[in-house]
Amino acid sequence: MTTTTDTTTKTKTTVLEAKGVTMRFGGLTAVKGVDLQVNAGEIVGLIGPNGAGKTTFFNCLTGLYVPTEGSVSYKGKVLPPKPHRVTEAGIARTFQNIRLFHNMTVMENVLVGRHTRTKEGLWSALLRGPGFKKAEAASEARAMELLEFIGLEHKADHLAKNLPYGEQRKLEIARALASDPGLILLDEPTAGMNPQETRAAEELIFAIRDMGIAVLVIEHDMRFIFNLCDRVACLVQGEKLIEGTASEVQGDERVIAAYLGTPFEGEPGAEEVAEVEAAEAHAEAEADAEPEAEADAEPEAEADAETEAADEDEAPAAESDDAPAADADADADSTTSTTSTEGEAK
């Protein structure tokens, strides 16, 4: 599996073109006039805070929702808003919450994904004629190729429900690939994954791109997205806030603000700096004053000083030293954990 990000051989053929896609649910406009293009050979990321409209936009692209306004074209043709027609046209997808057939084997799950490419009709299937058997053998061969591609060929006859979580996510991708798509939409492919599984998913997506399949991916894991994507679009409250290269989007203050409310990287605000400096100066002054106080103190006074160690004169200095670091960690943690919890919850 190659992880090259070399883009020299990429063409600029537009695979997906969404124009002015709007989706309203009663009074709520979940997606507002979003334009987005995905070109052949590209990996495009779609980011945005919770409830920004990312999954709704995916559902509009794949025919699960009929957009209130706008159009979606695949390779120059407007797509009918019907999921099976969209799959037939060449767009496959995975879901935020895993949707495997849990009591079917790994192989059978991939074969289900193959059905849009199987031309044999009902009678042929019931009579199991030569045409059907040939098609069935070809489907199984293709399914096994895909299982080899994701590294699950040795588990072809295991029940899907017995796979570990990370392998279930990979199997979903194999099932989507079974329809021979030209574009795959991945909705939070690393939700709930550990760092090793996330890294493997990243490699898998590069390999899918290298097979000639364009990728549009929703993800909350920013490191993953910015490492992976040629372009990134950010949705906020249903609207596209910005679209650009990973570095353009990563550094955009509006994106940071949309996620966190306040910047958490780069320079802290003047107020925070002044607060920390004052606390440090206070702690130093206390430390300098202490030896003298101890030297002068009578035994009773020493006991008093110990009792006072926990009083408010000491406490602010100690807290001021620890608090900024602890807060920064908490911020970072809460960003990550919100992300994974969110992903798992759906």
List of residues contacting ligand ATP (CB under 6 A): 25, 28, 30, 48, 50-56, 342, 346
- 34 forms bridges with which residues in the sheet? 21
Residues belonging to the chain: 346
Based on the number of CB atoms within 10 Å of its own CB, is 54 exposed (0-12), middle (13-18) or buried (19 or more)? buried
Q: Using the minimum distance from each CB to ligand ATP, give the nearer residue, 56 or 179.
A: 56
3-state secondary structure of 243: strand
Residue 269 CB, nearest distance to ligand ATP (Å)?
28
Helices H / strands E in the chain, number of each: 13, 10
Cα torsion angle, 168, 172, 173, 179, sign? positive
Both tokens of 293, joined, read: 């106080």
> Which is nearer to ligand ATP, 60 or 152 (by Cβ)?
60
Both structure tokens of 134: 């040939």
Q: How far is the CB of 192 from ligand ATP (least distance, A)?
A: 13
**Residue 178: CB minimum distance to ligand ATP, A:** 25
C-beta closer to ligand ATP: residue 31 or 205:
31
CB 105 within 8 A of CB 161: no
Helices 314-345 & 270-296 angle (0-180, nearest 10): 140
- Residue 167 or 188: the one with the smaller Cβ distance to ligand ATP is 188
Please, which residues bridge with residue 214 across strands? 183
By C-beta, is 62 or 109 nearer to ligand ATP? 62
Q: Which is nearer to ligand ATP, 149 or 259 (CB)?
A: 259
Min dist. Cβ of residue 121 to ligand ATP (A):
35
> By C-beta, is 210 or 239 nearer to ligand ATP?
239
| Distance (Å, whole) CA 75 – CA 15 | 5
- What are the DSSP calls for 189-204, one per residue? TTTT--HHHHHHHHHH
Q: How far is the CB of 49 from ligand ATP (least distance, A)?
A: 7
CB under 8 Å to 344, separation ≥6 — which residues? Answer: 191, 192
Map tokens 């063409």 to a residue. Answer: 11
Paired strand residues for 105: 159
Q: Smallest gap, in angstroms, from Cβ of residue 20 to ligand ATP?
A: 17
CB of 72 to ligand ATP, least distance (A): 16
Contact (CB, 8 A) for 53 and 23: yes
237 token code pair: 């409250």
Nearest approach in angstroms of CB 345 to ligand ATP is 8
Nearer of residues 28 and 273 to ligand ATP, judged by Cβ: 28
